[in-house]
Structure 1
Amino acid sequence: MTEKSSKDINYKRLFIAIDFPENLKERIFVFQKSVRNSIIGNVKWVEKENFHLTLRFIGEVPEKYVDEIKEVLDEVSHYVESFSITLESFGGFPSLSSPRVLWIGIKDELGNLEKIFDLIERRLVKKGIPKEKKPFSPHLTLGRVKENIRILQDFDFKKEEILVEEIVLFESNLTPQGPIYQPIYKVTLKKHM
């Protein structure tokens, strides 16, 4: 039997994330608009429907991995109870004075996000998916900076606490208009007692 060539393999661009409720996406969008109106320079802004918190970007993988990633999420959901995180503050990577990414910060006092990332990471590596190279840094991306920008005023996102009850596997389809994120699998975390 001949080996199939890599062009015969279907690939999917995937990431694991926490999705946000519509009312919070609306609030983030209003904040993003006020930031947008005070910036001089070129920024590719994240669309309102695409606001999320990435737990693990996987990237392009053969379609055969999808079921294995679903298994990983099923396993992790048995170990983690629902928990709260707080969205607060406004910043940039590597710094707000010279940013490549503009973000809203995520506060997780009990370290649950780090715990989930570690659980997912260990299991993905066992399945043959390469280890994440960048350190885990929870944030919500507002926009990606295309050139040097000037921010004309200070901003601070007022605290918003949310309950995390689900983890979602998304497929990202890149289009000329921007990425389209399609949820393809969700797991519900154990109820907090």
Structure 2
Amino acid sequence: MRVFFAIELEEEIKDYLFSMQQKLRKICNGGNFTHKDNFHLTLRFMGEQSEEQLLSLKNALTAAASEAQSFELRLWGLGAFNKGSKKIIWTGLEKSKELQGLYQSLETALEQEGYPREERSYSPHITLARETRLESGFLETGIIPVERLSVRVASISLMESARVNNRLCYQAVHKEAFRF
């Protein structure tokens, strides 16, 4: 089973991101746009895991969630990662000590379950589109402003990534709520 840890988003945020995405579609040369139901904030991608490994991942999720309290994040702007001649377009989130703390708690819990720590630094973002082509300087123009909407974080989920009827779908296989 192909899995990752994520923060699921409320419908209002997904609706807003979808409206931003529609503006992007008009100015992008092609691309693979994230389905509205799949918008999320990845904490850590784990890849293919066995049933036995899933139990370890659930244990890590429970440990990380037990230390967390609900908090708020804010959207902050558009950005892109280069992937060859194409881009992955995303919206970022303001820096948050609570999010960084949650990420570190998850990393520690995964390490205790026998998984190595992530080598890359954590760069929180919500992917809007992959494999797009944009004119140089597009992101600097601010042509698509991003409202600094509040994103409520009250739980963490272990998500499965699977193809259903030829469409990529993300489904929570385990979820833990935070203290309030």
Q: Does the CA contact (< 8 Å) of 2:60 and 2:109 recur in 1?
A: yes
RMSD: 2.1
Q: 1:83 matched to which residue of 2?
A: 71
Residues 99, 87 of structure 1: alpha-carbon distance in 2 compared, 3 angstrom cutoff: farther
Structure having the higher Rg: 1
TM-score (norm 2): 0.88
Tell me the distance in 1 between the aligned counterparts of 2:148 and 2:25.
Answer: 20
Residues 131, 176 of structure 1: alpha-carbon distance in 2 compared, 3 angstrom cutoff: farther
User: Any gaps of 5 or more consecutive residues in structure 2?
Assistant: none
Tell me the distance in 2 between the aligned counterparts of 1:29 and 1:42.
Answer: 16
Paired amino acid for 1:138: P
Q: 1:104 matched to which residue of 2?
A: 91
Paired amino acid for 1:108: K
Q: 1:5 matched to which residue of 2?
A: none
Tell me the distance in 2 between the aligned counterparts of 1:89 and 1:82.
Answer: 23
Q: Shift of residue 112 of structure 1?
A: 1.3
Paired amino acid for 1:120: L
Q: Does the CA contact (< 8 Å) of 1:15 and 1:169 recur in 2?
A: yes
Please give the residue correspondences for 1:39-188 in structure 2 after superposition, counting only pairs within 5 Å: 39=28, 41-94=29-82, 100-109=87-96, 111-145=97-131, 148-150=133-135, 151=138, 154-174=143-163, 177-188=166-177
| Number of equivalent positions | 175
Tell me the distance in 1 between the aligned counterparts of 2:76 and 2:86.
Answer: 18
Tell me the distance in 2 between the aligned counterparts of 1:158 and 1:63.
Answer: 41
Q: Deviations over 1:145-164 (max 9, x none)?
A: 25x43359622211101221
Tell me the distance in 1 between the aligned counterparts of 2:77 and 2:45.
Answer: 23
User: Any gaps of 5 or more consecutive residues in structure 1?
Assistant: 1-11
Q: Shift of residue 100 of structure 1?
A: 2.3
Q: Deviations over 1:32-76 (max 9, x none)?
A: 00111112x231110000000001111111121112211111111
Identity among equivalent pairs (%): 30
Q: Shift of residue 85 of structure 1?
A: 0.3
Instruction: Name the one with the larger helix percent.
Output: 2
Where 2:49 maps in the other structure, the secondary structure is strand
